[in-house]
Amino acid sequence: MSNRIKIKETKLLSDNWYTLNKITYDDRFILTQFTEQSRLVIDGCVSTLGANIIP
């Protein structure tokens, strides 16, 4: 298992017709340097199967 990414927080934004989560994580680019990133993830969207990541 890679230790490059550390998930800090998962926040549920919506669970109406689909599940919308905001994921906040640390991404390691250099051996000891982490940068904080966040992405929105849609799961269960009617038009597709699986999850989508919104940049």
Question: pLDDT 10s digit of each residue in the chain, 55 long?
Answer: 467 888 999 999 998 878 889 999 998 877 778 889 898 888 765 555 555 556 6
User: How many Å apart are CA 5 and CA 19, to the nearest integer?
Assistant: 22
* pLDDT value, residue 13: 93
- pTM: predicted TM-score of the whole model, two decimal places: 0.68
Residue length of the chain: 55
- What token pair was written down for 18? 């689909």
* pLDDT value, residue 1: 46
